Structure 1
Amino acid sequence: MGKFAIITGASTGIGFELAHLAAQNGYDLLVVADEPLIDASATDFRRHGVDVQSVEADLSTLEGVDHLVATTNGRPVDLLCANAGRGLGHGFLDQEVADWRRVIDTNVTGTLYLLHKVLKPMVARDAGKVLITGSIAGFIPGSFQAVYNGTKAFIDSFADAIRNEIKEAKGVTVTTLMPGPTETEFFDRADMLDTSVGSSEKDDAQKVAQDGWDALMAGKAHIVSGWMNKLQAAAAHVTPASVLAEQHRKMAEPGSGEEL
């Protein structure tokens, strides 16, 4: 049997591009998303000549993650791209509880549960690669995107901690991809098209995925994709939180896109 990769959030955007890269590099794929489009995407991946299975599952639920893992039929996972994520714009007090809970359950709970399932056997056999999609948003208090940025702060921190915990397993690497705003369906789904960040030019998903893939194959701890994002990430470490929050407000407040 050949190499085997799981790619979550693979129907569009960064996950879609990561799946293409994995297939081009000879990995059989198990791709998953919470929408029927994943089946059409799988057809696209098959043109690389690898075996591709697609699963429609809600990874904000433990049941959805269990369904994904069961679909492997016990096949060892050589590569996991934990890319599934959900955004949410507008002020926190204006959001429905079910909406912000789904962001947390997708970005944090579902991601951790999948990592718990996949990393254990990787560490046991001392072999495997993991790419977790975090975000430079995790460095910034996200006014009008507070829950999303908070989940990415958690993921960025969690990945650093887990990497240290399993450091004795030399054959297992955990890489965090930290993009900035990227041209995907994210802002439409997060209801942020009327914001400055939602309506402005963004990074190319294919370039972001390639940066993540290169860092993953090199076994790097993390990669911030894009030089402007690297500068922003560096500045975030020395800028007061109140200033960062005000800067983010100007990008993410509803209606701010009309000023462009």
Structure 2
Amino acid sequence: MPASPDQGPSPVAGPPATGRTALVTGATAGIGAAFARRLAAEGHDLVLVARDAVRLTGFAEELSGRHGISVATLPADLSTDDGCAAVEQRLGADPPVDLLVNNAGISLNQPFLRSSVADETRLLRLNVHAVLRLTLAALPGMTARRHGAVINVSSVAGFGPVMPGSTYSASKAWVTNFSESVGQSVRPYGVRVMALCPGYTRTEFHQRAGINMSKMPRWIWLAADDVVAESLRDLRKGRLVSVPDWKYKLAVAALRVAPQRLVHAVTRDARGRIDRDGY
């Protein structure tokens, strides 16, 4: 339900309301939260989707109070059919959603041979299946209105097998290819679909997956707010794929042209290392 402005800070002067609504999944942390803050500051009304209802409500009240916009919350686990169905229903309702940001996703801190069907299925349902379902739910209305956009958050990891033993990069390769393909098909209707492919970004993502990133150099990290700002600029330019920051643009170019043996040699990942017995 919409957050009430009198439950949070007093509204402050900001840009006029756009009359447009954005729906953001995985909205309470990291890149999703950065999208919500940026879009709220630009005057968009919001529908925020995440699993943690308490955290979701608090964030909605903060944004509504600060920017004087309407913020609705939709607690849902997008790795389940019921969770996807709830968001699909909202995407088909009024007021129409003008921008869908499919940000929710997970990684696993284990190589494939140590994984389980349940864990791998959950990753695919969230990273792939939910993106497919919600994009398909949003696009018919957008194409009918001749207006709208979808941003599917992918990853630089999707441009090559850069995490040996992990299926995360494979799921993100699908998101990027899917977004490029669908984006081309809806362009004639005035609708944009774009894959956002950030590199390492300071969020809760790795911590939630139990991945220790303490040895990564500081220069490699991106700020979520910067990632969002560049992605929205690329969306307005009509790009099908957005790779924020020059160093990751270079990395993607290298992954596309470098010999596969070289790519495999320099992108080894600890999660893929197993002993001879596979344990």
Structures share fold, TM-score greater than 0.5: yes
CA RMSD, aligned part only?
2.2
Q: Secondary structure of the residue that 2:167 maps to in structure 1?
A: helix
Matched, 1:7 2:24: yes
Q: Secondary structure of the residue that 1:156 maps to in structure 2?
A: helix
Deviates more, 1:218-227 or 1:63-72: 63-72
| 1:130 to partner: Cα distance | 1.4
Larger Cα-atom Rg: 2
1:29: which partner in 2? 46
Question: Cα distance 1:147–1:212, how it changes in 2: closer, same or farther (>3 A)?
Answer: same
Deviations 1:153-201 (A, max 9, x none): 00111111111222321x2111221100111111112221167559985
CA contact (8 A) 1:89 1:145 kept: no
Letter in 2 for 1:182: T
**In 2, Cα distance between equivalents of 1:246 and 1:41:** 43
TM-score, normalising length: structure 1: 0.89
CA contact (8 A) 1:140 1:236 kept: yes
Deviates more, 1:108-117 or 1:213-222: 213-222
Identical aligned pairs, as a percentage? 34
Deviations 1:65-89 (A, max 9, x none): 2112334643211111111111112
**In 2, Cα distance between equivalents of 1:186 and 1:30:** 21
From 167, 173, 186, the counterpart of 2:205: 186
Letter in 2 for 1:210: A
**In 1, Cα distance between equivalents of 2:216 and 2:168:** 14
From 25, 33, 55, the counterpart of 1:16: 33
2:159: which partner in 1? 139
Matched, 1:176 2:195: yes
CA contact (8 A) 1:13 1:185 kept: yes
After superposition, residues 148-167 of structure 1 pair within 5 angstroms as: 148-167=168-187
From 93, 97, 103, the counterpart of 1:83: 103
2:243: which partner in 1? 224
CA contact (8 A) 1:196 1:251 kept: no
**In 2, Cα distance between equivalents of 1:61 and 1:75:** 25
Question: Cα distance 1:147–1:250, how it changes in 2: closer, same or farther (>3 A)?
Answer: closer
TM-score, normalising length: structure 2: 0.84
Deviations 1:91-121 (A, max 9, x none): 1111122111111110100110000000111
Q: Secondary structure of the residue that 1:113 maps to in structure 2?
A: helix
Q: Which runs of 5+ in 2 are unaligned?
A: 1-17, 274-279
Q: Which segments of structure 1 move beyond 6 Å, counting only runs of 4 or more?
A: none
Letter in 2 for 1:30: V
Matched, 1:238 2:238: no
Letter in 1 for 2:136: H
Question: Cα distance 1:144–1:191, how it changes in 2: closer, same or farther (>3 A)?
Answer: farther
| 1:246 to partner: Cα distance | 3.2
Letter in 2 for 1:222: V
| 1:14 to partner: Cα distance | 0.5
Question: Cα distance 1:150–1:195, how it changes in 2: closer, same or farther (>3 A)?
Answer: farther
Q: Which runs of 5+ in 1 are unaligned?
A: 255-260
**In 2, Cα distance between equivalents of 1:198 and 1:223:** 23
1:258: which partner in 2? none
2:146: which partner in 1? 126
